[in-house]
Chain A
Amino acid sequence: MADLLGRPLAVANAGVDLFADELERQGVPVERVEWRPPEPGTEEALQRLALEAAAIAHANDEAVERLQAAQPMLAGVGTARDLLPDMHERAILHAGPPIDWAEMSGPLRGAVIGAAVHEGLAESREAAERLAARGELEFAPCHERGAVGPMAGVVSASMPMVVVENPAHGNRACCTFNEGLGKVLRYGANDDEVLERLGWIRDVLARVFARALDRLGEPIDLRAMTAQALQMGDEGHNRNRAGTSLLLRSLLPALIELDDPSADVAAVARFIAGNDHFYLNLTMPAAKAAADAAAGIDGSSIVVAMARNGTEFGVRLSGTGDRWFTGPSGMIDGLYLPGFGPEDANPDIGDSSITETVGLGGFAMAAAPAIVRFVGGGAEDALEATRAMYDIAWSESRSYQIPALGFRGTPVGIDAREVVATRVLPFVNTGIAHREPGVGQIGAGLVEPPMEAFAKAVRALAGQ
């Protein structure tokens, strides 16, 4: 306590302004915290948790340390049925918390239908729809099978997946390949063009990509690559141009040396070069591998998953096991492609908010001035978005830094208690899907998760 007496005092004031005024009158620097009451219905839970504050602090330190220590390495490519548990022919994985066919929104249904046809489970889209409606497909969240998927996040047995290993903790996470923009399965599109591309991804992209990785001889350090991408204007969720470029740069020599048909290699190179979001499907499993390592620590209030299925937004905490806490998926505040508007939009969907869970995406907005128009303004708004997240984050990233904030680490480890106490919700960057299946992406922007999900999680942590 040598730092208290005999040193200049600096005070953080929460509450009555009069006392802050009196301190300033005495020449004491005051930081005025803009305190406001917590989310109604969480007061008692917060009070109970205050009794456990020391134990929670130890648990959160441990959870965030595991998150920080994760070393996500791009190790290879495999097939869903081989990589994921219980991935039988009729199993279909999806983004977000658990959901039945009846509750699925348009894009998710469209993706399920497309996957069923892709797997040969149905001959037509109509037949696939009847199959799903009869309950003959088994649905499960990607998150519960060691995977993540952007937007609809649909994974079926034959789909190829990238494998990200985390040697620091001995776990791994998987994700499908990114299909590009426009009409794609993850936005619920399922016409012949979409299915043809899925076939090409399975037959060509996966093979060439896997062989190129083998040729490199060592796995790609995704944490280091993402850290570089952040210094080049990506935030790791809505902007992936730098990450994709870095990936292609590191793969290119190996690609050229492959003895695969040059037409295939060229097609793969052209596909990656033409798809800014290719790297998102590597960032996501990297984030999942880190977040899974942080899960399961008794008492911890740190968020280890945020995911949306297009109907509900779900949250998991490190200290509450496998339970999902949900609220309705929000509408996205963003910019639309020409010819589309908010009335066309589907509610928020996708596992990609795993990036925010580990301090990327909306939490790293200050790194990506190029996409600040999504948050409705100038570079200062992007800085502010990141700054606001320090209020609800347990720590600051050791790996991911923001040049514009003096290389301060991004806010990392969302503390659900502080979300309900401050009523500051995580900023989530995301794409906007059309509400009808088959149309695709119509915009991008920022979405607010439902406070209800965090309130439920905090009450559960408090044993209520």
Chain B
Amino acid sequence: MTERVIVRRGAYHDSVTLMLVSSAAGREEGAEDVAVGMATPLNLELIADQGFAVEDAGPNDLVIAVRARDEAAADAAVAAVDRELAAKGGAPAAAAGRPSARSLRSARDSSLAFLSIPGEHVAHEAATALEAGLHVFCFSDGMSLAVEAALKRRAVEKDLLFMGADCGTAILDGVALGFANAVERGPVGIVGASGTGIQEVSCLLDTAGIGISHAIGVGGRDLSAEVGGLMMRRGLELLAADDATRAIVAISKPPDPQVADAIEAAAGAAGKAVVLGFGLTLEETAARAAGLVGGALPAFEERLRRPPSPGRVVGLYSGGTLCAEAAAIVGEGEFTDFGADEFTRGRAHPMIDPSLRLDRLAAAARDPEVSVLLLDVVLGFGAHPDPAGELAPVIADVDRHVIAALCGAAGDPQGLDGQRAQLEAAGAVVTRSNAHAARLAREAAGG
């Protein structure tokens, strides 16, 4: 066994790229552990946990740590890291013969800034974007509530939209930002404080053949007392003024009461039918929205494929709102949102990198007290190219109820039908409604 620790000064790459590089290099013949990361305190801790000693490296330095069978295998793993970095780091602007800008201030041809940099640095960049006159989609989390409130007030002053912080999803004029599905365009406009909430409602409407005009994400804390729902109100105004929008859906967990009043007032002033989904399931929310434009959701009639068996329900989710909704419907059980901060610090979101959830799925399936495993499988732009392909081999080995809520649209790049077929072939019950999946889980555990 041989170990190699390399520090490269000032070589910055984003964390998702580095995690993808680590896992690709880790598949090299003879490689035992490969850890590639910027030498942030957190990453240094994670790398130390893997038994590597890294000396004298700071947050602007790249660390490559390799443990391999022998020298040749270590060389091969390091070479693989370099190869993957070269393949992923191809900045197209540089290829065009011109280094790209280092500041959002120089992004003169854009209308919106998409921020997914580490959260501890995002406050300054978001402020810079607003001052440069850009609308902001802030995927990064970790922004303080005080900064979010201040920046949103500034956005209102500058007549800009600030989506986030921790905003996962938006669809503007058919363009998916972040994690979003390739739903058809249509008459329903969505404004939501939940990324997976927007995905679920837009995909449920997709099952009914009803399209989306725009979906505006505002971040999970927009309806807190501190922020006052500033961007949900702006979103409602935007959709009210938008010719393509006939009916509006607002999605959030129940907001601060004063904020709720302000949102209701804004909804009342919209001059269009508005569904306020506070306290409703996403399925109910989507059903009401469908009704407003003369449509209806299909009945979700998927059945259990084996008799109910008493035991514990374990919910393993990548979407926070979907997880909370399932927990509320099932009532009892153990629900984990792998998209929560504690699981995404130093690693990619579970919709991109499913490995952590797969490990937990396999472990739960060996627990004799567990009788039902409930999952979400989220498709769309930004998500893993084949989540069902990753899940199916694990599910096939599970001798339990496996129920999957498939959140996707017919046009998604992963292929909705193919994903469904793979999951079903592995033995899972698959439904496109998360609420229905949760009802099935409750039934499955109740026998």
A residues sitting closer than 8 Å to B (CB atoms) are 1, 3-20, 22-23, 25-26, 28-29, 31-38, 40, 43, 46-47, 49-51, 53-54, 57, 384, 387-388, 390-393, 417-418, 421-424
In the complex, what residue of chain A is closest to B113 when comparing beta carbons? Answer: A12
Interface string of B97-134 (1 = CB under 8 A from A): 01111111111011111111110110111111111001
Apart from A33-B106, A46-B121, A391-B106: 20 A-B pairs, beta carbons within 8 A: A1-B159, A4-B161, A6-B173, A9-B173, A10-B109, A11-B114, A12-B112, A16-B14, A19-B139, A22-B176, A29-B109, A35-B12, A38-B124, A43-B120, A49-B127, A50-B124, A390-B101, A390-B106, A418-B105, A424-B103
The reply to whether A418 and B128 contact each other, CB–CB distance below 8 Å, is: yes
Closest Cβ of chain B to A54, distance in Å, is: 5
Check: B157 CB closer than 8 A to any chain A CB.
yes
Residues on B with beta carbons closer than 8 Å to the beta carbon of A393: 105
How far apart are the CA atoms of A38 and B178 in the complex, in Å?
A: 24
Interface string of B1-28 (1 = CB under 8 A from A): 0000000000010111100000000000
Closest Cβ of chain B to A165, distance in Å, is: 33
Interchain CB contact (< 8 A) of A40 among B58, B124, B129, B140:
B58
The reply to whether A1 and B161 contact each other, CB–CB distance below 8 Å, is: yes
Interchain CB contact (< 8 A) of A47 among B16, B117, B124:
B124
What are 6 A-B interface contacts by the 8 Å CB criterion?
A9-B173, A11-B111, A16-B139, A17-B17, A43-B120, A50-B127
The reply to whether A14 and B214 contact each other, CB–CB distance below 8 Å, is: no
The reply to whether B91 and A32 contact each other, CB–CB distance below 8 Å, is: yes
What total of chain B residues lie within 8 Å of the partner, measured CB to CB? Answer: 76
Check: B299 CB closer than 8 A to any chain A CB.
no
Residues on A with beta carbons closer than 8 Å to the beta carbon of B15: 16
The reply to whether A47 and B144 contact each other, CB–CB distance below 8 Å, is: yes
The reply to whether A9 and B126 contact each other, CB–CB distance below 8 Å, is: no
Check: B146 CB closer than 8 A to any chain A CB.
yes
Within 8 A of A (CB), among B300-325: none
6 closest residue pairs by CB, A with B: A15-B116, A12-B107, A53-B127, A50-B123, A12-B110, A391-B103
Interface string of B148-162 (1 = CB under 8 A from A): 001101100101110
The reply to whether B113 and A14 contact each other, CB–CB distance below 8 Å, is: yes
Residues on A with beta carbons closer than 8 Å to the beta carbon of B16: 16-18
How far apart are the CA atoms of A101 and B413 in the complex, in Å?
A: 71
The reply to whether A421 and B103 contact each other, CB–CB distance below 8 Å, is: yes
Closest Cβ of chain B to A86, distance in Å, is: 40
How far apart are the CA atoms of A384 and B352 in the complex, in Å?
A: 36
Residues on B with beta carbons closer than 8 Å to the beta carbon of A424: 102-103
How far apart are the CA atoms of A20 and B91 in the complex, in Å?
A: 11
Within 8 A of A (CB), among B319-368: 352
Interface string of B399-438 (1 = CB under 8 A from A): 0000000000000010000000000000000000000000
Check: B242 CB closer than 8 A to any chain A CB.
yes
Closest Cβ of chain A to B384, distance in Å, is: 10
How far apart are the CA atoms of A34 and B117 in the complex, in Å?
A: 11
The reply to whether B147 and A4 contact each other, CB–CB distance below 8 Å, is: no
Closest Cβ of chain A to B370, distance in Å, is: 33
How far apart are the CA atoms of A392 and B103 in the complex, in Å?
A: 7
The reply to whether B150 and A14 contact each other, CB–CB distance below 8 Å, is: no
How far apart are the CA atoms of A51 and B123 in the complex, in Å?
A: 8
Interchain CB contact (< 8 A) of A35 among B125, B176, B352, B382:
B125
The reply to whether B60 and A33 contact each other, CB–CB distance below 8 Å, is: no
Closest Cβ of chain A to B89, distance in Å, is: 8
Also in contact, A32 and B100, with CB within 8 A (given A19-B114, A37-B121) = yes
The reply to whether B91 and A43 contact each other, CB–CB distance below 8 Å, is: no
In the complex, what residue of chain B is closest to A422 when comparing beta carbons? Answer: B102
Interchain CB contact (< 8 A) of B172 among A9, A35, A37, A421:
A9
Residues on B with beta carbons closer than 8 Å to the beta carbon of A40: 58-60
The reply to whether A19 and B116 contact each other, CB–CB distance below 8 Å, is: yes
Residues on B with beta carbons closer than 8 Å to the beta carbon of A37: 12, 38, 59-60, 118, 121
Residues on A with beta carbons closer than 8 Å to the beta carbon of B153: 54
The reply to whether B17 and A12 contact each other, CB–CB distance below 8 Å, is: no
Check: B262 CB closer than 8 A to any chain A CB.
no
The reply to whether A38 and B121 contact each other, CB–CB distance below 8 Å, is: yes
Also in contact, A46 and B123, with CB within 8 A (given A6-B244, A36-B60, A418-B105) = yes
Within 8 A of A (CB), among B352-400: 352, 381-382
